Structure 1
Amino acid sequence: MRIAVVDGQGGGIGKAIVERFRKEFKDTIDIVALGTNSLATSLMLKAGANDGATGENAIVYNVSRVDFILGPIGIISANSLLGELTPIMANAISESSAQKVLIPLNKCHVVVVGVENKPIQNYIDEAIDIVSAQSMK
């Protein structure tokens, strides 16, 4: 199984996702860190990603070559992450046939009605459950 973790800005959410997925799945999954900037990519690589790439072309190219895409909900919204996520990136992520597992954060001016306000770690735990269940099919 191959997953992409997309993040930008400081890369903290991506780092947390990579750390938890690496701990849970050990070496049974291939994690690709896709950062909108080099800091985000670097943090995700240090957290245990197998590969990493930075920028618009890297994200557009790689999101069609994975089974799952994980990241904050803003990765499907053009100009989110304080403008780091371009419309081309958001479109490529949205159109990818990969299963998207998104962490609901309100910082991107997207509010999902009915979602409880929980610590990010709880959402990452739920993401692990989703990926585990989907990979068993």
Structure 2
Amino acid sequence: MKIAVIDGQGGGIGRVIVEKLRKDLPEDIEIMALGTNALAAAQMIKAGANEGASGESAVIFNTPKVDLIVGTINIIMPNSMLGEFTATMAEAVLRSSAQKIILPLTRSRVKIVGTREEPLPHLVEAAANEIKKILEVGTGV
């Protein structure tokens, strides 16, 4: 299985996600860091991603090639992350046949009703648990 973790700006959220996935998932799971910029990609690579790339072209090129995409709600919102995440990038994520695990964190003026505000570690834990369930179903465990 190949998982893309997408983040922008300083890559802090992506770094936390990659660290958790690397710790909790089997070693044969490939994690790809897709950053809106080189700093974000580098932070995720330092956290344990197998490979990484940055920029609009990297997101557009790689999202169709992965099995799972993980990131905040910003990765499906055009012009989020202070404009770093373009409409074309958001469309590429949404068009990908990969399953998406979305964390309801945003600094934009979007409020997701029906969700509780949780700290990042709790959301990442929930995302990791969902990915483990997906892996169990996919492997017949």
What TM-score, normalized by structure 2, do the two folds share? Answer: 0.94
Structure-2 residue corresponding to 1:47:
47
1:9-61, Cα deviation, whole Å (9 max, x unpaired): 01000000000000111413100000000000000000000000010111001
- Would you say 1:112 and 2:112 are equivalent positions? yes
* Conserved? CA contact 2:63–2:69, under 8 Å: yes
* Conserved? CA contact 2:5–2:32, under 8 Å: yes
Structure-2 residue corresponding to 1:124:
124
Cα distance in 2 for residues equivalent to 1:26 and 1:15: 18
Amino acid at match of 2:14: G
- Would you say 1:68 and 2:68 are equivalent positions? yes
1:71-120, Cα deviation, whole Å (9 max, x unpaired): 11111000000000011000000111111101111313222101111111
- Measured on the aligned residues, the alpha-carbon RMSD in Å equals 0.9
Cα distance in 2 for residues equivalent to 1:113 and 1:49: 32
- Equivalent residue runs for 1:87-102 within 5 Å: 87-102=87-102
The count of corresponding residues between Structure 1 and Structure 2 is 137
Query: Could you say what secondary structure the match of 2:107 adopts?
Result: helix
Cα distance in 2 for residues equivalent to 1:75 and 1:55: 13
Cα distance in 1 for residues equivalent to 2:8 and 2:121: 18
Cα distance in 2 for residues equivalent to 1:93 and 1:106: 17
Structure-2 residue corresponding to 1:5:
5
Percent identity (aligned): 48
Uncovered stretches (5+) of structure 1, i.e. residues with no partner = none
- Would you say 1:78 and 2:85 are equivalent positions? no
Cα distance in 1 for residues equivalent to 2:99 and 2:27: 20
Structure 1 stretches of at least 4 aligned residues deviating more than 4 Å after TM superposition:
none
